[in-house]
Amino acid sequence: MITMNAAVFVGPNEPLELRELTIPSEPGPQEVLVRLAASGVCHSDLHALDGDWETPAPLVLGHEGAGVVVAVGSEVTGLEADDHVILSWTPSCQKCEFCVSGRPVLCQLANETAYQHVFFDGKPRLRDGDEDVRSFLAVGSFGEYAMVPASAAIKIRRDAPLAQAALVGCAVTTGIGAVTNTAGVEPGSTVLVVGCGGVGLNVVQGARLAGAKQIIVADVSAEKLELGRTFGATHTINSREVDLVETVMALTDGRGVDYAFEAIGLPFTIEACYEAIRRGGTAVVVGQVADGVKISIDPFVMSDQEKRLIGSNYGSSRQSIDFPKIIDLYMEGRVDLDSMVTDRIPLSGVNEAFAEMRKGRGIRTVIEYDA
């Protein structure tokens, strides 16, 4: 067994506790032991911490991580010790109808296990003395080590910095993939992005990569709107000061946008995105909402105007393909990951990072470990 430090969720609206846990030193046959180098602090973790999502305790939070392989199981191929990897929070079973059809984010087994914060065998891998400790989405990147299914450890090039690479494990892929995979935005399209947080800014990057001619961003923060321009937006809307839908219509000659992406997770912004698309347009729900949230949509308008409202989970990504591709785009200077990292902290600063997140500050705080 290996002793490791981790930030443990003990219940909603309680600070994370720094504890010493143990993790097996030998992975199971189809598992990989990873020493974390970095973990992003994501808003999805805050949903769990603040009780928006029902989450079991004790549990190591964190799901946006990158690190170095320590050991691989006896049946693992394609990975070896010292490989650099990004962790995926949707491990693919590679057998169900979704995995074999190229939609691993919908993996049936992951939905039944990883989304319950356990492994494919239904058990956790961490312990606190005699007590089992789960890993958030079967990752648990707020710890010095993580045991993951082999399909959740995606090998990347060694010259990529791991602090930036960690963000590809969630926010970057979720945002870019919503554009390129889920919606399939075409060159010359008009795009609206509501919310300029970590995911929304990567929707902007995805729209830029796709060749959109007009990229409108909306937020209530002037600072975040300016960040939107930095990442590729052509127009900004402060929705605290003006009506969002009316302004979008004015910017598009009354037509509406081809694609609208909601990257916050609030019912009224989802509805606004739907209202802001043109006839035949597509609104994409990317932001994670609290349990039980409902929206109101006029079904006559949906059918009469052939408007589409669709969801995007993890950017509809194929992680084994998309993670290395995004890293290559970053190394070529076509995707900005450096500006995403607005603060770097030790694990002991994680509760303060969440306090800053609640205030809407920064883009991504990264926990750095000694890897």
For the chain, the domains span 2-156+337-368, 172-314
Q: Which CATH superfamily is domain 2-156+337-368 in?
A: Medium-chain alcohol dehydrogenases, catalytic domain (3.90.180.10)
The Cα–Cα gap between 315 and 311 comes to 9
Q: Is 274 in a helix, a strand, or coil?
A: helix
CA 294 to chain centroid: 22
The widest CA-to-CA distance across the chain, in whole angstroms, is 65
pLDDT band of 300, cuts 50, 70, 90: very high
How far does the chain reach from its first CA to its final CA, in angstroms?
18
Which DSSP string corresponds to 122-169?
Answer: S---EEETTEEEEEGGGT--SBSEEEEEGGGEEEE-TTS-HHHHHHHT
Q: What residues contact 341, with CB distance under 8 A and at least 6 apart?
A: 163, 164, 167, 363, 364, 366
**CB count, 10 Å around CB of 20?**
10
CB 143 within 8 A of CB 302: no
Angle at 343 between CA 7 and CA 270, to 5 degrees: 85
* Amino acid letter, residue 323: F
The partner residues of 38 in beta bridges, in order of sequence, read 66, 368
Phi-psi region of 194 (alpha: psi -120 to 50; beta: other; left: phi over 0): beta
pLDDT band of 333, cuts 50, 70, 90: very high
Q: What is the mean pLDDT of the chain?
A: 96
Summarize the confidence of residues 194-199 as an average pLDDT: 95
The Cα–Cα gap between 205 and 215 comes to 10
pLDDT band of 121, cuts 50, 70, 90: very high
Query: Rounded to 5 degrees, what are φ and ψ at 340?
Result: -70, -35
pLDDT band of 337, cuts 50, 70, 90: very high
Q: Which helix (H) or strand (E) holds 308?
A: strand 308-311
The position carrying tokens 């791991």 is 162
Summarize the confidence of residues 209-213 as an average pLDDT: 98
Query: pLDDT tens digits, residue range 89-109?
Result: 999 999 999 999 999 999 999
The Cα–Cα gap between 208 and 202 comes to 10
Give the burial class of 103: count Cβ atoms within 10 A of its Cβ; 0-12 exposed, 13-18 middle, 19 or more buried: middle
Strands 257-262 and 277-285: what pairing?
parallel
CB 110 within 8 A of CB 91: yes
- Specify the pLDDT at position 31: 97
Tokens of 36: 């974390």
The Cα–Cα gap between 7 and 153 comes to 21
pLDDT of 180 over the 90 cut: yes
CATH class of 172-314: alpha beta
pTM of full prediction above 0.85: yes
pLDDT band of 43, cuts 50, 70, 90: confident
pLDDT of 364 over the 80 cut: yes
Between the alpha carbon of residue 331 and those of residues 8, 158, 176, the distances in Å are: 34, 11, 16
Q: Is 25 in a helix, a strand, or coil?
A: coil
pLDDT of 284 over the 80 cut: yes
Query: Rounded to 5 degrees, what are φ and ψ at 51?
Result: 85, 10
pLDDT of 212 over the 60 cut: yes
